[in-house]
Amino acid sequence: MEMYLLILALVAAWYWIDSIGSREQAIACGQELAERTNLQLLDESVSCRKVWFARNSRGRLQLQRTYQFEVSAHGSDRMVCELVLLGRHMTQWHIPPYLQAVSSNPLY
């Protein structure tokens, strides 16, 4: 019985440590996506919404996590975005369409 509890504790510790690393990777990916699309990542609002198993390109089983995060185009709006990590590699992302702020010069 103690052996099962020890194995369960080790698996739980591994999952916790792996989840921390994956969240840090998701924050970095979210920041990169926001910068590429001229958006601002809000409050490091990255949160894991879904975890399941999927196969990578080599056919190995890995954890696939879906993260949601919020970005802003103008500072007063919030848009919910999503990215998917398979292991530590981003495989999918979605940012909803938005209007970019257009700088206008007054006509004289």
Distance CA 67, CA 21 (A): 13
Q: Kindly state whether residue 38 falls inside one of the protein's structural domains.
A: yes
Domains held by the chain: number: 1
Range of the domain at 9: 2-94
Q: Above pLDDT 70, what percent of the chain?
A: 91
Q: Kindly state whether residue 105 falls inside one of the protein's structural domains.
A: no
**More confidently predicted of 40 and 74:** 40
Q: Report the amino acid identity of residue 72.
A: S
User: Running DSSP on this structure, what letter comes out for residue 99?
Assistant: P
3-state DSSP assignment of residue 92: strand
User: Which residue matches tokens 């739980």?
Assistant: 12
Q: Kindly state whether residue 34 falls inside one of the protein's structural domains.
A: yes
**What would the pLDDT profile of 43-65 be if each residue is shown by its tens digit?**
778 999 999 999 999 999 999 99
Q: Kindly state whether residue 106 falls inside one of the protein's structural domains.
A: no
Distance CA 58, CA 47 (A): 28
Q: Kindly state whether residue 9 falls inside one of the protein's structural domains.
A: yes
Average pLDDT over residues 82-91: 96
Q: Kindly state whether residue 35 falls inside one of the protein's structural domains.
A: yes
Q: Kindly state whether residue 101 falls inside one of the protein's structural domains.
A: no
Write down the pTM of the prediction.
Answer: 0.83
